[in-house]
Amino acid sequence: MIHGRGGTAESILSLVPHLNLTDYAILAPQANGNTWYPFGFMTSDEGNFVALESSLRKIEEIVEEVIGGGIASENIYLLGFSQGACLSLEFAARHAQRLGGVVAFTGGLIGEKLKSENYSGDFEGTPIFIGSSDRDFHVPAKRINESAELLRKMGAEVTVKLFDDPDHTIRAEEIKWVNQKIFL
């Protein structure tokens, strides 16, 4: 579970009671200074490069540790909100493989422009959920849809749900959908 900008591991863990995660081990890393990268997710690639690479490496180390502990990749789920959702999607796309699922509450792939050459692998039908406002101030619906299309081309089963409100939040409808389709 990956928190958003300004959030904490503790804040993203507050979602646990609302999700069907009874039989899951939950890991929630903490970003240095409560941010995974310093600038918006669609700003200059150079500005975010060092922090983004460090953050992606942190997620990679956790995934490697889990796999090293005997958990198959198809039993690993990534979940994030806002900046954490972007980081979840970016990590998954750079290391596409069969995962249990990816849940992005308000997020898209990271970069000034999407560069398909940054991504490799095959999701082999991994379910990916992206939920957001249709007019979120931080994450444009256009980038969400572009991200979804790229992820589909990589073999993911992507569901996008855009809500008719301006809120930068996680909605009860999103939680319900994820509980019914991802965390069975």
* Residue 163, φ and ψ in degrees, nearest 5: -105, 145
Say how many C-beta atoms besides its own lie within 10 A of residue 47's C-beta.
14
pLDDT of res. 41: 97
* Rounded Cα distance, 74 and 100, in Å: 5
Closest CA to 110 of 130, 94, 128, 134: 94
Coil, helix or strand at residue 54: helix
Q: Which residues have CB under 8 Å from 19's CB, separation 6+?
A: 175, 178, 179, 183
Burial 63-87 (b: 16+ CB within 10 A, else e): beebeeeeeeeeebbbbbbbbbbbb
| pLDDT by 10s per residue, the chain, length 184 | 999 999 999 999 999 999 999 999 999 999 999 999 999 999 999 999 999 999 999 999 999 999 999 999 999 999 999 999 999 999 999 999 999 999 999 999 999 999 999 999 999 999 999 999 999 999 999 999 999 999 999 999 999 999 999 999 999 999 999 999 999 7
Tokens of 37: 């990268």
- Return the percent helix, strand and coil in the chain, to nearest 5: 40, 15, 45
Q: Exposed, middle or buried: residue 137 (CB in 10 Å: 0-12, 13-18, 19+)? A: exposed
pLDDT of res. 27: 98
Q: Which residues have CB under 8 Å from 22's CB, separation 6+?
A: none
pLDDT of res. 2: 98
Closest CA to 76 of 58, 106, 98: 98
